[in-house]
Amino acid sequence: MHLIIANKNYSSWSFRPWFAMKVAGLYFQETVIPLDSPDFKERVRKLAATSKVPVLIDGEIVVWESLAIIEYVAETRPDARLWPTDRAARAHARAIANEMHAGFVALRRHCPMNMARPVKPRELPSDVVADVRRIDAIWQMCLARFGGGGPFLFEGFSAADAMYAPIVSRFHTYAIEVSNASRAYMHAIMELPAWTEWKHAALLETSVLPVDEVDWPLVLREEEVGIVQ
């Protein structure tokens, strides 16, 4: 399998299937095409008509859209166990994964994923607060009902955790307050080796996208513990 993704610092859509496949221990090749590359759309259009990443290539099969890629991997690699085995848990996992895929637009726009930005609060408008509260409630309910006492939303790491991983990054980066249960869940996700691998690569990237830099024209970078002007 070959996964085509964009900047690891910014691309939340790319992060989801990459994270799911890495945590599941699946082997795959990856190609990063920076979003600010002059030929970005041209290169991606050759793979998918949407001209967007991520794109998964598996032989002659091409799949785009984060959740569709995860579903394909779960179907073709059942040993990865990306969905819960229990039918009720699996149905709930799919529902919240789809809610993530289609919703929380206010939070996404106001708090773009930026893994290289140091932790720094940002004032949240009411619509973003509503998104945060809904996600916090989702996490608390899943942990209590399906988590089995473990650290993840369902008994083991699942596609649902991968779908919400960029939210974990956002909540952390912008120091967003959540419940104790959700905070513990975030720590568990960020302690995974796959998270460390992705973030390390993100910190090494040099591309700067003003639209995803909420402190613009300042560019805050964690590794420099300071400000680049």
How do strand 29-32 and strand 2-5 relate by DSSP bridges? Answer: parallel
Mean pLDDT for the stretch of residues 195-209: 96
The yes-or-no verdict on residue 54 having pLDDT over 50 is yes
2-80 is classed CATH 3.10.150.10: no
Domain boundaries, the chain: 2-80, 87-196
Q: What are the angstrom distances between the C-alpha of 114 and each of 30, 118, 166, 190, 219? A: 20, 9, 9, 15, 11
* Band (223; pLDDT cuts 50, 70, 90): low
* Band (49; pLDDT cuts 50, 70, 90): confident
For 7-22, how does the pLDDT look when each residue is reduced to its tens digit (9 = 90+)? 999 999 999 999 999 9
* Band (227; pLDDT cuts 50, 70, 90): very low
How remote is the C-alpha of 81 from its chain's centroid? Answer: 18
Domains 2-80 and 87-196 share a fold: no
What is the overall mean pLDDT for the chain? 95
How many Å apart are CA 153 and CA 30, to the nearest integer?
27
Q: What is the pTM of this model?
A: 0.93
Mean pLDDT for the stretch of residues 86-96: 97
The yes-or-no verdict on residue 148 having pLDDT over 50 is yes
* Band (229; pLDDT cuts 50, 70, 90): very low
Q: Which pLDDT score, from 0 to 100, does residue 225 have? A: 41
87-196 is classed CATH 2.60.40.3080: no
Helix axes 193-204, 12-23, angle to 10 degrees: 140
Share of the chain above pLDDT 90, in %: 92
- CA-nearest of 10, 17, 29 to 64 is 17
Cα end-to-end span (Å), the chain: 40
The yes-or-no verdict on residue 226 having pLDDT over 50 is no
Collapsed DSSP state (helix, strand, coil) of residue 205: coil
For 159-188, how does the pLDDT look when each residue is reduced to its tens digit (9 = 90+)? 999 999 999 999 999 999 999 999 999 999
Q: What are the angstrom distances between the C-alpha of 72 and each of 65, 83, 160? A: 11, 12, 14
